[in-house]
Amino acid sequence: MEISDLERIARDIRRRDIQAVYEAGAGHVGGEMSVIDLLAALYFHVLRIWPDQPKHPDRDRFVLSKGHTACALYVVLAERGFIPEDEISTFLQPYSRLNGHPNCNKVPGVETNTGPLGHGLPVAVGMAKAAKLSSANYHTYVITGDGEMQEGSNWEAIMAAAQFKLDNLTLIIDHNRFQQGASLSETNDVAPFRPKLEAFGWEVTEINGNAMAEIVPALEHRGGRPHCIVAHTNKGHGISFMQDRVDWHHKVPSKEQYELALAELSEAL
């Protein structure tokens, strides 16, 4: 796909995501806005996947470790054909399979359950190692939040990936600088990430994670070591009153804010 096509898809996903959060009365819209460009590039350009065969053995694996942004993943899966588009309207409703965190036993295209932070990267390391052991050709991608990188389990996984020489693994850190309740710098500031990952033997690329022209080549990069993409993003990206505001981690827009957000996202077309 052309970069302009991916940008249009990302805008469409943002509009549908904020609609779903508004109608459900709950969600994590700020972090969803920051990660949507990355998800759009993965699912519509990079990942080797078959929506009609979600368990195809040759598929690339993707793990959304920051599972609280599940709504964005559901919208992407619907747009890509894994689930019906009209099912998005059931997000967080009673008996819906579209819960607040993704469930691999219920939703086609979800590789593993996530929610408790610090679990997705260790699982992704296991997937990449399994590919090595079985001589499979799939690539494994995982997105973590930057606040999530405070979890010690991630650094154990980072050490293991380097030890096992998992050049079939790409970690993307959604570095939007905010977590629940505070900025990263006010909590336990593990940034900058690049020197730390490089010290553990990883190759690291830093990009603007809301710029599709930088996202695509970074995701397509292949080297001889595990690869980390530090994606500098904006929480609430694309919506003026949400951007870089910690209270929009899981705040729900009012009717007026919802309409303003849709207007701003439409103006970007």
Q: What is the CATH number of the domain that holds 209?
A: 3.40.50.970
| pLDDT of amino acid 85 | 98
Structural domain of 76: 3-267
C-alpha 165/C-alpha 124 separation (Å) is 14
Question: Using one digit for the tens of pLDDT, what is the confidence trace for 41-64?
Answer: 999 999 999 999 999 999 999 999
Residue 125's contacts (CB-CB under 8 Å, 6 or more residues apart) are 157, 160, 161, 164, 166, 169
Show the DSSP H helices in 65-151 as ranges.
70-80, 120-134
Structure tokens of 3? Answer: 């970069």
Q: What is the pLDDT along the chain (269 residues), one digit of tens a residue?
A: 899 999 999 999 999 999 999 999 999 999 999 999 999 999 999 999 999 999 999 999 999 999 999 999 999 999 999 999 999 999 999 999 999 999 999 999 999 999 999 999 999 999 999 999 999 999 999 999 999 999 999 999 999 999 999 999 999 999 999 999 999 999 999 999 999 999 999 999 999 999 999 999 999 999 999 999 999 999 999 999 999 999 999 999 999 999 999 999 988 65
| pLDDT of amino acid 268 | 66
Does pTM surpass 0.75? yes
Total count of domains within the chain: 1
Q: Which of 53, 228, 235 is nearest to 141 (CA)?
A: 228
Question: Using one digit for the tens of pLDDT, what is the confidence trace for 155-201?
Answer: 999 999 999 999 999 999 999 999 999 999 999 999 999 999 999 99
Strands 169-175 and 227-232, bridge-based pairing: parallel
